[in-house]
Amino acid sequence: MTRHQRRQHAATAGAIALAAAAIALAWHGLYGEAVLAGVVVLSLTDAALRAHREHQRELAEFDWARQRGLAMDPPPLKPCCWIGSSSRGRAHNPRCTRPRYEDGTVDEFLAEREGRG
């Protein structure tokens, strides 16, 4: 179980418990409190969904790194990395999955790899 899955399960459990509490509050006529609990349920649901997406991304990055380790040439993930998507391709983090030679020409990439650049 990854840290993302733990966070997802905790948020899901909290959302379910709070949804039950919101229903009970509404049943007893405490509508203001029920609405407030409903807002928190939506927030916890969003957190659970975000944790699920982060878990799926971590699995995809792990599989991509495994394929690279086996000398395969996997295509880059979409988005290539979280910095690349938020900077619109201007910056990338060290764990980026795009090919390194996309920054320059293939000759520059090969020169850098061979220590000429």
Residue 1: C-alpha distances to residues 5, 65, 90 (Å): 6, 19, 34
* 96 lies in the site for Zn ion, by CB under 5 A: yes
Shortest distance (Å) from residue 16 CB to Zn ion: 36
Shortest distance (Å) from residue 61 CB to Zn ion: 11
DSSP state of 1: -
Please state the length of the chain: 117
Say how far apart CA 11 and CA 25 lie, in whole Å.
20
Build a one-symbol-per-residue string for 51-90: x at contacts with Zn ion by CB under 5 A, - elsewhere.
Answer: -----------------------------xx--x------
Say how far apart CA 15 and CA 38 lie, in whole Å.
9
- Whose Cβ is closer to Zn ion: residue 30's or residue 64's? 64
- Whose Cβ is closer to Zn ion: residue 25's or residue 81's? 81
Where on the chain is the footprint of Zn ion (CB under 5 A)?
80-81, 84, 92, 96
